[in-house]
Amino acid sequence: MRLVKGAYKEPADIAFPDKADIDANFVSLMKILLPSGIYHAIATHDPKMIAATKEFASAKGIGKEKFEFQMLYGIRTDLQRELIGEGYRLRVYIPFGTDWFPYFMRRLAERPANLTFFLRNLFR
């Protein structure tokens, strides 16, 4: 199972509108998934979610090979390298194929902040 916060803006009756609640729920769900004995993916770029996962896994004696982190290609590569350096598993999500342009436009439309993020990283 891949745990993500979700990219889409959903109504309050089916989703948490506030980031603090989303983050708290992400941590709660991570604490259910990790000890289950099933291999899970903690897919986030949020250093706080990553720190909470590392801390929980270490406290519960859950080995680094029992789960993996996942991030999108090109996002927080510094964090990606850091996790690999620390011995964690990391899978990178890379969309490919001929339909890259509609995919790219859809991702921009669902998260307009991606446009500034994309431009900022392009020049970094």
Give the chain's length. 124
Stretch of 28-36, 65-73, 81-89, 95-103 lying at the interface with ligand FAD (CB under 6 A): 65-73
Q: Give least dist CB 13 to ligand FAD, A.
A: 17
Number of H helices, E strands in the chain: 5, 4
Binding mask 1-40 for ligand FAD (x = CB under 6 A): ---xxxxx--------------------------------
Does 90 interact with ligand FAD (rule: CB under 6 A)?
A: no
Q: Give the Å distances, CA to CA, from 91 to 5, 20, 42, 51, 120.
A: 17, 26, 10, 17, 24
Q: Least CB distance from residue 42 to ligand FAD, whole Å?
A: 9
Interatomic CA distance for residues 124 and 118, integer angstroms: 10
**Binding segment (CB under 6 A) for ligand FAD, from list 31-39, 44-52, 60-68, 81-89:** 44-52
Beta-strand runs (E) in 4-117: 40-43, 67-72, 90-93
Of the pair 44, 53, the CB lying nearest ligand FAD is at 44
**Is residue 114 near ligand FAD by the rule CB under 6 A?**
yes
As a whole number of angstroms, the distance between CA 95 and CA 92 comes to 10
Interface residue with ligand FAD among 15, 29, 72, 90 (CB under 6 A) is: 72
Phi, then psi, of 71 in degrees rounded to 5 = -140, 160
Q: Which residues bind ligand FAD (CB under 6 A)?
A: 4-8, 43-46, 49, 70-72, 75-76, 93, 111, 114, 117
